[in-house]
Structure 1
Amino acid sequence: MPISTPYLAELVAAPPQEAEPPPLTDGFRVATYNVHRWAGVRGGKQYEPERAMGVMEELEADVIALQEVLRPFDGRDPLRRAARAMGMHLAFVVTRMHKRGELGNAVLSRYPFASAEAIDLTFGRLERRAALAVRLASGGDGERISIVSTHLALMDRTRTRQVKALLEHPHFDGAPTLLLGDMNAWRRNPASRGLDAYAERHNNERWPASWPSVRPVLALDRAYASGLNLCDLHAHETAASKQASDHLPLVGRVVVG
């Protein structure tokens, strides 16, 4: 079942009993994770959502950006289950149809969403790509922070066009923003240079390697911050995370102001 453009599929409120999160101005813990269609490190027809769901809980993050999220046609929905188990708000954007279900990007958040939007990043016919952009709302402090979860293309030229389209979007209009996801940054090119020029790098000297998970050598997954301080960004490398996906999650601390 083809789709002409990516679309926002669902917004799910956190369970009523969830405690009020602290103000965004207190800072929060953020993560990005390519869950590899819940197929574990081996991929293919494997279906092991409990592994990645367990790793997501290990992260103890307040906001998690997810990529390669599969929502199966058969009604099993690890994404919704994970959101409910962790007491988090959920937004999901469908990028394309996989033979087993909807495939796309998601954001889980302890903070409610002030808004959510799908951004089409498809250029050409080979790869359907998108970003999910949400604005977080926090109590009465009036702070608004944008979180953008994306999975960029494999081809350098397409990826450069995607970065340009992202940075021209209103979510990147000067408000505090975190761009999180699988940037497919195999090597430094105009796309990565454009992001580096826009955003403030994390405090590490190098991007942490996140792929392949069993022995990471490439920093495909990235976190870019603008108007925020992103501290202690590192790959979450445990026995479980090495088996749950072919990517390791990245996790760090965001300091506001």
Structure 2
Amino acid sequence: MRPHPHSTLGHGDTLRVATYNIHKGVRGVGPRKRLEIHNLGLGIEALDADLVFLQEVRSFHHREARHFERTWFGWPREGQAEFLAPEGYEVAYRTNAVTKHGEHGNALLSRWPIGDIGHHDVSDHRFEQRGLLHVPVSWNGQRVHAVVAHLGLMHASRVRQVERLAAFITAHVPAGEMLAVAGDFNDWGEKLDAPMRECGLERAQAGARLNTFPSRVPVFSLDRIYTRGLRCVASSVPRGSAWARMSDHLPLVAEFVAA
């Protein structure tokens, strides 16, 4: 895997953010099922991001742990968020969905100190458990509120979840403080930018829109970063066979300066 190019600007001047749906660290089905969590760890380290917003992260899953336990690179003993965090990073994780054999949720990996971790349920119906992970981060003497999101599969659900996001921001994020909301928005029809602007959030992109799904031949821009009080100065999506193999999504990387 070729390393993702590092920023040409110093991390002290820019906030480098990545968002990545890791597909629970496993690809394939049946006898072709393979564990990708170890490769994902190398990939996340190569992104060299200050903040990594992760979706579909497992803390535990008993069936997968049994399936992979005899492999040379087996199922991690700790939760996936802790396993994936580069050395020196702080970790925040909260469960969104509980299933028969385990669970999964959202995580934030931070190079900068983090504060109290919050979680807000935005499930729209009983078939999809969704949540917002809220983590305040101390960056260069300022506070950036990081919110990891993974919205629903139906458009009407996503609209209602954005409304709940707006209410959450009003209640928990002071108006003058910087905010980044990133994750998998499942917005196939490109309809959420307007309601996100109503929340005071602008979509981060520098240049052409970057597609992240499906990873082998990406044609949809499902993975996004929306911000308030931050200006995007660069954005990119790493490509190549190794990235295509690790998850059904590609990561999105962007750099910001204070607006």
Determine the structure 2 residue equivalent to 1:128: 129
AA matched with 2:20 = Y
The reply to whether residue 251 of structure 1 matches residue 248 of structure 2 is no
After the TM superposition, which of the residue ranges 162-171 and 59-68 deviates more from structure 2?
162-171
State how far apart, in whole Å, the 2-side matches of 1:209 and 1:203 are.
11
State how far apart, in whole Å, the 1-side matches of 2:236 and 2:172 are.
25
Report matched runs for 1:1-257 at 5 Å.
Answer: 26-40=13-27, 42=28, 45-74=33-62, 75-83=77-85, 85-138=86-139, 141=141, 143-169=142-168, 170-174=171-175, 175-189=177-191, 191-197=192-198, 198-257=200-259
* TM-align CA RMSD: 2.1
State how far apart, in whole Å, the 2-side matches of 1:171 and 1:178 are.
13
Q: Per the alignment, in what secondary structure is the counterpart of residue 225 of structure 1?
A: strand
Report the alpha carbon displacement of residue 231 of structure 1 after superposing the two structures with TM.
2.3
Q: TM-score, normalised by structure 2?
A: 0.82
Q: Deviations over 1:142-174 (max 9, x none)?
A: x11101111000111110010011112134442
Q: Deviations over 1:182-220 (max 9, x none)?
A: 00010033x332014432232434431000001100001
Report the alpha carbon displacement of residue 112 of structure 1 after superposing the two structures with TM.
1.2
Decide whether the 8 Å contact of 2:209 with 2:221 is kept in 1. yes
Identity among equivalent positions (%) equals: 33
AA matched with 2:53 = A
Unaligned runs of 5+ in 2: 1-9, 63-76
Higher relative contact order, structure no. (Cα contacts within 8 Å, ≥ 6 residues apart): 1
State how far apart, in whole Å, the 1-side matches of 2:12 and 2:41 are.
28
Cα gap change, 1:113 to 1:127, in 2 (>3 Å)? same
AA matched with 1:52 = L
Unaligned runs of 5+ in 1: 1-22
State how far apart, in whole Å, the 1-side matches of 2:251 and 2:197 are.
20
Determine the structure 2 residue equivalent to 1:20: none
Report the alpha carbon displacement of residue 119 of structure 1 after superposing the two structures with TM.
1.1
Decide whether the 8 Å contact of 2:193 with 2:203 is kept in 1. no
AA matched with 2:188 = W
Decide whether the 8 Å contact of 1:89 with 1:111 is kept in 2. yes
Decide whether the 8 Å contact of 1:115 with 1:136 is kept in 2. no
State how far apart, in whole Å, the 2-side matches of 1:242 and 1:209 are.
13
Cα gap change, 1:27 to 1:204, in 2 (>3 Å)? closer
Q: Deviations over 1:36-77 (max 9, x none)?
A: 01013x367533211211110110111100000012245453
AA matched with 1:247 = H
Q: Per the alignment, in what secondary structure is the counterpart of residue 194 of structure 2?
A: helix
Q: Deviations over 1:113-161 (max 9, x none)?
A: 122100110122121100101100246x2x1110111100011111001
Cα gap change, 1:150 to 1:63, in 2 (>3 Å)? same
State how far apart, in whole Å, the 2-side matches of 1:252 and 1:236 are.
11
State how far apart, in whole Å, the 2-side matches of 1:77 and 1:201 are.
31
State how far apart, in whole Å, the 2-side matches of 1:100 and 1:80 are.
20
Cα gap change, 1:230 to 1:113, in 2 (>3 Å)? same
Q: TM-score, normalised by structure 1?
A: 0.82
Decide whether the 8 Å contact of 1:166 with 1:172 is kept in 2. no
Q: Per the alignment, in what secondary structure is the counterpart of residue 236 of structure 1?
A: coil
State how far apart, in whole Å, the 2-side matches of 1:55 and 1:247 are.
13
Q: Per the alignment, in what secondary structure is the counterpart of residue 50 of structure 1?
A: helix
Report the alpha carbon displacement of residue 25 of structure 1 after superposing the two structures with TM.
6.8
Determine the structure 1 residue equivalent to 2:70: none
